[in-house]
Amino acid sequence: MLHEWLCRPHVSRWWQPSPSRAEVEEDFVPMTSDGNDTTRGHIAMLESRPIGFIQCYVVAGSGGGWWEEEADPGARGIDQFLASAEDLGKGLGSAMVRAFVDRLFLDPRVTKVQTDPSPDNGRAIRSYEKAGFVARGEVETPDGPALLMLRERPEQP
């Protein structure tokens, strides 16, 4: 299912290149033998229908040239997409992200959540803004230019 979703035009435009089934298994099935892979993928459901994918990872030490300056062990990163083009523009993406990040903040160790859409992906940027993220500026990543967006842990009363 995830492979098929990643090959859909509205997803592959931003998650390039479209992976093979073997690459999906290699990239999205968590490695648990050495305990070093902190990325966890989740399928978002609306009632009983799978509507999207969201993954979360520990930012510090993520490797591969990603976020080498981040030292905060509580920083988390997310990436997401909606599976069906028909679901775009209905507020489902921002609702999915908001609910997922709210759940991440239930862990007192999580200090902030970041994401890095392409500066050209206005739909994603608006979705993240609606979910409470604030743009912090463009950064250069191993995948090219990105807009770093953050949502800080809410103040506790």
Q: Is 7 contained in some domain? A: no
Q: Is 144 contained in some domain? A: yes
Cα dihedral 42, 47, 50, 54 sign: negative
Q: Is 136 contained in some domain? A: yes
Is the predicted pLDDT of residue 34 greater than 90, yes or no? no
Q: Do the beta carbons of residue 94 and residue 128 sit within 8 Å?
A: yes
| 75-82 β-sheet, strand order | 40-46, 49-58, 75-82, 112-115, 144-152, 134-141
Cα dihedral 99, 104, 107, 111 sign: negative
Q: Can you give the pLDDT at residue 100?
A: 95
Q: How many CB atoms lie within 10 A of CB 11?
A: 20
Q: Is 128 contained in some domain? A: yes
Q: Do the beta carbons of residue 145 and residue 135 sit within 8 Å?
A: no
- For the stretch 78-109, pLDDT in tens is 999 988 889 898 999 999 999 999 999 999 99
Alpha-helical (H) ranges within 15-132 are 21-28, 92-104, 122-130
- For the stretch 104-152, pLDDT in tens is 999 999 999 999 999 999 999 999 999 999 999 999 998 889 999 999 9
Q: Looking at per-residue confidence, does 154 or 112 come out higher?
A: 112
Q: Is 56 contained in some domain? A: yes
- Give the CATH number of the domain where residue 143 resides: 3.40.630.30
Q: Can you give the pLDDT at residue 32?
A: 44
Segments forming the whole domain that contains residue 88? 37-152
Domains in the chain, number: 1
Q: Do the beta carbons of residue 41 and residue 53 sit within 8 Å?
A: yes
Q: Is 17 contained in some domain? A: no
Residue 33's pLDDT band (cuts 50, 70, 90): very low
- pTM for the complete prediction? 0.84
Q: Is 118 contained in some domain? A: yes
Query: Where is 2: in which H helix or E strand?
Result: helix 2-6
Residue with token string 């030490």: 61
Cα dihedral 6, 50, 52, 108 sign: negative
